[in-house]
Amino acid sequence: MPGGRSTFRRNNNSAVERLNMPKKSKIHAEQLIVSIIMGSLSDWETMKNASDVLTRFEVPHECKVISAHRTPDLLFEFAKSAESRGIEVIIAGAGGAAHLPGMCAAQSLVPVLGVPVQSKALSGMDSLLSIVQMPTGIPVGTLAIGNAGATNAALLAVAILSNTRKDLREKLKEFRNEQTNTVLTSSLE
């Protein structure tokens, strides 16, 4: 929560340490309010950008690998329980036939922000179209392909959360101001 300590949880894969994901020692009892999920460990390089932004804003969040195709029951369980666990925004990244964000949105009222991971075969166009072309009635807020999308998904999550959290809104204002000043003071010499 704003002003509180960040909380990070990472589970269901023993390979997390290889990827420098947050370790168990950083687990705190604080309420998690954002879930970052991704279809494969191979998505972490992209989705880490979202986690980094939430960490910067001290938003308690968790990161999980959940595959719509390979672990459909786990996805069902996750999506069905997200709201009752206090999750307010879900950021879902996937590549290729990227069904994770849509299937998650189909099973939860929690807003889902979709990040199309850049695939090798089609450079993420497949991921983008899979995520963005949702049928009427089940929205997924779709971001850009790749790192920019992951970063912006987290910034959008912060903006959504800051509707009811004044201190988070102040941090977002500061971030925007810093960004503006960086551009205004940049020099090509």
Q: Which residue lies nearer to ligand RP5 by CB, 67 or 147?
A: 67
Q: Which residues bind ligand RP5 (CB under 6 A)?
A: 39-40, 42-43, 67, 94-96, 117
Shortest Cβ distance from residue 181 to ligand RP5 (Å)? 36
Q: Which residue lies nearer to ligand RP5 by CB, 39 or 102?
A: 39
Shortest Cβ distance from residue 42 to ligand RP5 (Å)? 3
Q: Which residue lies nearer to ligand RP5 by CB, 13 or 42?
A: 42
The secondary structure of the chain, three-state, reads: CCCCCCCEEEECCHHHHHHCCCCHHHCCCCCCCEEEEECCHHHHHHHHHHHHHHHHCCCCEEEEECCCCCCHHHHHHHHHHHCCCCCCEEEEEEECCCCHHHHHHHCCCCCEEEEEECCCCCCCHHHHHHHHCCCCCCCCEECCCCHHHHHHHHHHHHHHHCCCCHHHHHHHHHHHHHHHHHHHCCCCC
Q: Which residue lies nearer to ligand RP5 by CB, 60 or 146?
A: 146
